[in-house]
Amino acid sequence: MLKKIKRYALLVLILILLIIGLLIYQKMSRDNVGNISLGIFTTQDIKINILKDPLVTGVTCHIASIEDDLSFSDPSDSAISCRQTGDISKEMIQLIDKSKSGEIVFKKSKSIFFKNMKIRRIYDAKNQTLMYVSYSTKETSGSFKHSLSTVPLWGSQAYMSVKTEQ
């Protein structure tokens, strides 16, 4: 009987250490550039993550969202701000999906119940602007939470080359 209790206690201890390790690893994420505590009596924090566009490497986005370390589901709200932080070439623009629905450049699970936050890049050819839409895949209070940021190509190599071709 005593062996079973010791074995159970060891299993619980290992599980607790594993959870603590995962929480520490999550907090030390390389793409996390900011962490704002929402108070002493809550486990929710505003996390600010950085995202470099994988195809248009001259664009960097910052995404702010609320995360709860001890919950199975994070709130759906998020904010996104994208800026040109490097060169954007004609070749980069040629590689991206130019359909009206664009392409997903980032996806993060916000719940164990199929809720995700996605960031989609859409190209507005007429205005030569990259649009980044952050949205939740689960309806909350009657709507799908979303946020938009735009990066105009004006002044970049891509803008110059497209203008000279017209």
Amino acid at 157: Q
Based on the fold, state whether residues 64 and 89 are members of the same structural domain.
yes
Distance CA 128, CA 122 (A): 11
* Predicted local confidence at residue 150, as pLDDT: 96
Report the number of distinct structural domains present in the chain.
Answer: 2
Amino acid occupying residue 124: D
Containing 11, the helix (H) or strand (E) segment is helix 2-27
Note whether 129 and 144 are same-domain residues: yes
pLDDT score for 132: 97
Same domain, 13 and 36: no
- The domain containing residue 5 runs over which residues? 1-30
3-state secondary structure 25-93: HHHCCCCEEEEEECCCCCCEEEEEEEEECCCCCCEEEEEEEEEECCCCECCCCEEEEEEECCCCCHHHH
- pLDDT values of the chain reduced to their tens digit, one per residue, 166 residues: 677 787 887 787 787 777 766 655 555 456 788 887 777 877 678 888 899 999 999 999 999 987 766 554 455 577 899 999 999 999 999 999 999 999 999 877 655 555 678 899 999 999 999 999 998 776 555 666 789 999 999 888 887 665 555 5
Residues 120 and 79 in one domain: yes
Question: According to the model, what pLDDT value does residue 9 have?
Answer: 78
Mark whether 63 and 109 lie in a shared domain.
Answer: yes
